[in-house]
Structure 1
Amino acid sequence: MCVCTCKPAYSSSLTDAEWALVASLLPAHDPHAGGRPLKHDRRLVLDSILYVLVSGCAWRLLPHDLVPWDAAYRWFRTWSADGTWDRVHDALRDRVRAADGRAAQPTAAVLDAQSIKSSEGGAAIGYDAGKRVRGRKRHLLVDTTGLLLAVMVTTASLQDRPGGRRLLTAARPRYPQLGKVWADGGYANVVDTSLVRHARDELGLDLEIVRRCDDVRGFQVLPRRWVVERSFGWLTRSRRLARDYERKTEHAEAMIKVAMIRLMAARLTGRHIEPQGPIETEAARRLADDLDSDK
């Protein structure tokens, strides 16, 4: 009797079209294998990593029909260290921007930070007194459509202004055409505008602070700032990112890039994995209104 050896696909798994898009960007060989053939199929390895990302399970709880957990984690760790996730992410982001009729190099971006609770421990764990969160802080720089340009994960105790300075300084050489950045009031309060001056004088960036109206209570959609808030929403739809479970900050940054890789691969192949609803409809309308001025 013939026994089927096909691996079942989970909802987190890549489709054939998505895998064809990503496969050419992944290393063909294991740099630590000494030329030996790969023991595990790269597609199954990536599907295993995506299962952890989307389901939020521990590595050791991977289903038995995927690769062994230690092999999946080893590949995740290797691709984090050798820059594979960066190369795949940046290549897909350039393709998404091209498909939207935009140049590869952005001219405008949005900056924000998100404090997130951590799990049991790890490096760079601190307390954000303003948000009352013990864990880490994700500093994101995204383009005007919400695609990730740069990410930095730090202790939650690091304030937005020094975190924004470090992120913008690191990102500036990679995006020479970047000229305009929007951020919220936490990056320049009424007393301290040092980040605005640093961005202007040292980085050649026009950092505009979009402030919240104190007369309006509750949630309000602010121009430009909603773009990066939606990006945070995209990330936390993956349950692994609803908290920070990674022991190392570089792995926390890599997991964010993997989430964006999955999102962009789906977008390029016409598969919709983004949530659909009134918030997304309003976001799409606002984005369409901004297209002409941002291209």
Structure 2
Amino acid sequence: MPVRDRSKGGAARTYGDRLVLDAILFVVRSGCQWRMIPHDLLPWDAAYRWYRAWIADGTWDRVHDALRDQVRQRAGRECNPSAAVIDAQSIKSSEGGQHRGYDAGKRTTGRKRHIVVDTLGLLLVVGVTAASVQDRPGGRTVLSVLAQRFCSIALVWADGGYANSIDNSLIGWARQKLGLVLQIVKRTDDVKGFQVLPRRWVVERTFGWLVRHRRLARDYERLATNSEAMIKIAMIRLMATRLAGQSIRWSNATEREAACRATIEAHLTA
């Protein structure tokens, strides 16, 4: 979390980072509206203000990337992955807001989440578009970002929505423009129903992790940047849980009041 520069003046903070994080994680996990944050946490407008501020200054991105590196190191992997998996998920969204369309294939009106994950299922790149955006143009966007951020990645697995017998231009474009090998993992034609596919199951599991957070069960955000931030916050919670080696429990009122008093006393004595 960012450290406040007290040399710039201003009053002491009323609420500590722990209380702010508790409130934001409560919204992501429970799916409640900001105005319905429990009164024993902190005022909803304070939580939302810090949530937006940390989007603007890149705090969520830095925390997410730092935790991902720690999880990979604990798993015996290098910080920079060498392979990735790409996929997209269409999901219903509330009325209003930007980037909202109709996915004729899934018969869903809402948005589409384009994500790229490593072989552990950890998020590398996320992009949110209207559901009407096809996988191929959406894939170009996130693959371009992937190539800029992770020079170590040379291989990306994808499903048939990104390249098929009708249009496989994305494979050549990725190789020529980005230096990425896009390998398509196809379903077996003679097998019907559910089938676990090699490599692709990793990204499907990540989508399963995300939708366990009720705020992500559908897209309630008006701004696409907020949607992307909510996905990163959900992954932050998951990775912090894994690093802690225990499940996250909700803090009680006594602990929150003690944390608030400790924060205020620390700022007053500083």
Q: Same-fold call, TM > 0.5?
A: yes
RMSD between aligned alpha carbons? 1.4
The correspondence for 1:123, drawn from 98, 122, 129, is: 98
The change in CA–CA distance for 1:262 and 1:221 in structure 2 (over 3 A counts) is same
SS in 2 for 1:65: coil
1:59-94 Cα offsets, whole Å, 9 max, x none, are 111111011111111111111111000000000000
State the match for 1:83 in structure 2.
Answer: 58
The correspondence for 2:88, drawn from 90, 98, 113, is: 113
CA drift of 1:30 comes to: 8.1
1:180 pairs with 2:155: yes
CA–CA distance in structure 1, aligned partners of residues 9 and 100 of structure 2: 37
The correspondence for 2:120, drawn from 145, 155, 158, is: 145
Residue type matched to 1:110 in 2?
V
CA drift of 1:268 comes to: 0.5
CA–CA distance in structure 2, aligned partners of residues 199 and 34 of structure 1: 50
CA–CA distance in structure 2, aligned partners of residues 56 and 270 of structure 1: 25
SS in 2 for 1:151: strand
Consecutive unaligned residues of structure 1, counting only runs of 5 or more, are: 1-25, 274-295
The correspondence for 2:131, drawn from 156, 164, 184, is: 156
Give the structure-2-normalised TM-score: 0.89
Consecutive unaligned residues of structure 2, counting only runs of 5 or more, are: 249-270
1:192 pairs with 2:173: no
State the match for 1:19 in structure 2.
Answer: none
Work out the number of aligned pairs and report it.
Answer: 247
CA drift of 1:272 comes to: 4.2
8 Å contact from structure 1 (residues 61, 69) kept in 2: yes
CA–CA distance in structure 2, aligned partners of residues 268 and 119 of structure 1: 34
CA drift of 1:35 comes to: 3.8
CA–CA distance in structure 2, aligned partners of residues 155 and 251 of structure 1: 14
State the match for 1:216 in structure 2.
Answer: 191
State the match for 1:207 in structure 2.
Answer: 182
8 Å contact from structure 1 (residues 48, 66) kept in 2: yes
CA drift of 1:271 comes to: 1.2
The correspondence for 1:72, drawn from 44, 47, 51, is: 47
CA drift of 1:34 comes to: 5.2
The correspondence for 2:146, drawn from 163, 171, 178, is: 171
1:96-119 Cα offsets, whole Å, 9 max, x none, are 000011101000000000001001
1:259 pairs with 2:234: yes
CA–CA distance in structure 1, aligned partners of residues 152 and 126 of structure 2: 18
The correspondence for 1:226, drawn from 201, 209, 221, is: 201
Identity of aligned residues (%): 66
CA drift of 1:266 comes to: 0.7
Q: Which has the higher contact order (CA 8 A, sep 6+)?
A: 2
CA–CA distance in structure 2, aligned partners of residues 201 and 251 of structure 1: 33
The change in CA–CA distance for 1:67 and 1:159 in structure 2 (over 3 A counts) is same
